[in-house]
Chain A
Amino acid sequence: MKPTDAMMAAGPASALPLPADWRDFVALTKPRVMTLVVFTGLCGLLAAPVAIDPVIGFTAVLCIALGAGAAGALNQWYEADLDAAMRRTRGRPLPAGRMTREAALHFGVGLAGFSVWLMALAVGMLAAAILLASILFYVLVYTVWLKRRTPQNIVIGGAAGAFPPLIGWVAATGRIELLPVLLFAIIFLWTPPHFWALSLFVRSDYAAAGVPMLPVVAGVRHTRLQVLLYSLPMAAGAVAPWSLGLTGAIYGIAAAVLSAVFVLLALRVALSRTTDPAEMIAERRLFAYSIGYLFILFGALVVDRLVG
């Protein structure tokens, strides 16, 4: 057997290759990111005006989770060098030397193929096709093409994370309609202010790794302004399902209040002048709020559809 990274990870005295632990395969799927993906996918499924068999519904959400996990694994396979250069990510299985790149690639491709195959077999071809498109978009368009080349990586790449509610809806109904497209648009517009808030206080990490994130390329001040500018269409998009009569007042009021707070926090970011990451309270607050924002917004949508 040829020597591998995992053998080296086991230490110079080790005579046997130590295979990666199963927990490292779980870590490769980015379980924290997957939480939001699964939740928005489930909300898309529950918001659809069609009753779906619980087993098929569960399978659809499982496929969304596995597809997201596969995309995360392939992202980590491709970005092992970047992850090793960043404090936030150097403990991941590949840069930490607990897993070989080959194992990560096989796991990612296998999981992606399985998730799409299962979705096609159990749920439907259209849902499977969108799932495949979302995986390919995240891996090829965002990870391989955009991330290392342009500060617009997050803007365009944000589409990858916006697919789950659309997939959930299509899994239930079998067709694409206006509401799930708006849900796609909300996450698409939410991604830039969410990620730029994070990248403001970890910009030295991105700079060290050579990733052209907006704060590294255009500066902190310009990024703060962009955070505010993107939060405005995001807020409009969040309220749009209500103003177009596609949802009831529960969702509408929740969207209006949550989005107003989001814009307010984005305004505080735009007005902030500190350059010390340790003192970037407004940025950290917006980043934390943006996660809760999406959870509550989509939760309100489901409540609205179930109650209304």
Chain B
Amino acid sequence: MNPPSDEDLLRARQRSRSIATALVLAALVILFFLLTIAKMSGR
């Protein structure tokens, strides 16, 4: 089996960063939704 090329490494790194970013954004969406509910029920 050939070792991964530079481009393979780059793509793998970009993919893992994209997944991490997507997960963070999804968590923020949920957090802002829950905060909105908490603030509204607080009133």
Contact = CB atoms under 8 A, between A and B. Distances in A.
Interface of A: 10, 13-19, 21-22, 53, 55-56, 59, 62, 122
B38 A53 contact: yes
Given A21-B16, A22-B20, A53-B42, A15 B6 contact: yes
B29 to A, nearest CB: 14
Contact of A55 (B13, B17, B34): B34
23 contacts: A10-B6, A10-B9, A13-B6, A16-B6, A16-B10, A18-B9, A19-B10, A19-B14, A19-B17, A21-B13, A21-B16, A21-B17, A22-B16, A53-B38, A55-B31, A55-B35, A55-B37, A55-B38, A56-B38, A59-B31, A59-B35, A122-B35, A122-B39
A187 B23 CA distance: 34
Interface in B1-43: 6-7, 9-10, 13-14, 16-17, 20-21, 31, 34-35, 37-39, 42
A18 B37 contact: no
Q: Which of B14, B21, B38, B42 has the most CB of A within 10 A?
A: B38
Contacts of B9: 10, 18
Given A53-B38, A55-B37, A16 B7 contact: yes
A51 to B, nearest CB: 12
Contacts of B39: 122
Interface of B is mostly: helix
Contact of B13 (A13, A19, A59): A19
Which 6 pairs show the lowest CB-CB distances between chains A and B? A22-B20, A55-B38, A55-B34, A53-B38, A16-B10, A14-B6
B3 to A, nearest CB: 12
Given A14-B6, A21-B13, A56 B35 contact: yes
Interface of B: 6-7, 9-10, 13-14, 16-17, 20-21, 31, 34-35, 37-39, 42
For chain A, what secondary structure do more than half of its interface residues adopt (helix, strand, loop), or is it mixed? loop
A283 to B, nearest CB: 39
Contacts of A22: 16-17, 20-21
A19 B11 CA distance: 10
Nearest to B42: A53
Nearest to A114: B28
Contacts of A55: 31, 34-35, 37-38
Given A22-B21, A122-B35, 8 more contacts: A17-B10, A18-B6, A18-B9, A18-B13, A53-B42, A55-B31, A56-B35, A59-B31
A19 B42 CA distance: 43
Contacts of B35: 55-56, 59, 122
B30 to A, nearest CB: 10
Contacts of A17: 10
B34 to A, nearest CB: 5
Contacts of B16: 21-22
Contacts of B21: 22
Nearest to A53: B38
Contacts of B31: 55, 59, 62
Contacts of A14: 6
